[in-house]
Amino acid sequence: MSFIIVGLGNPGQEYEGTRHNTGRDMLFALAKSIGAVGNAGEFKADKKVRALVAKGEVGKGKASESVTLIAPETFMNKSGLSVGPLINGIGAATKPNLKKAEKLIVIYDDFNLPIGSIRVSFNRSSGGHNGLESIIKAVKTEAFIRVRVGVAPEKANGTAKVPHGEKEIEKFILSPFKPAEALELKKVSKLVIGAIETIILESREKAMSIYNAN
């Protein structure tokens, strides 16, 4: 049973480079890193799951593991429409497929973390993230892996400068990264790729011990 890796964001050029599309951008960086782009594994539209889908392998030789990369083509708050069928099947039964869910990795933005930070977690609530909430409802369990990527400016004390109020939060997460932030995010993509490789080839616990310390 291969891992399914999902990068959250909104489809469309107007959302490219925005903070809320960080998960999607990280997925594409991972795809390029493992050679899933530019060959037979290039992303292709799959109307059944409303997503762009690619296949690839993490690791080399006998130590490699196959992965399926998913970029939902729904809007963020409907991400579960793409992910649910992959875990529980089309016309899913009422019971969740817990074995498949444990091999689900969702990458997404977190404005409570400063840029430069990532966190690996398992079996936790959505934390108010609409895309994640949609997936939890669709797969009918919280027992899957998350890789949260910080998108907020960093304060002098090292914590995130968090926006407050619904309108301010929406404005912030849909805003583009500043040039210096975008450069920092390229460095972060290496952390995300490393974390995912560690999850798949070793364990999620090992990934947490390494990457949650940064």
**Secondary structure of the chain in the HEC alphabet?**
CCEEEEECCCCCHHHCCEHHHHHHHHHHHHHHHCCCCCCCCCCEEECCCCEEEEEEEECCHHHCEEEEEEEECCCHHHCHHHHHHHHHCCCCCCCCCHHHHCCEEEEEEEEEEECCCEEEEECCCCCCCHHHHHHHHHHCCCCCEEEEEEEECECCCCCECCCCCHHHHHHHHCCECCHHHHHHHHHHHHHHHHHHHHHHHCCHHHHHHHHCCC
20 is catalytic: yes
Choosing from 19, 20, 100, 103, which is the catalytic residue? 20
Q: Report residue 131 as tokens.
A: 């895309």
Catalytic residues: 20
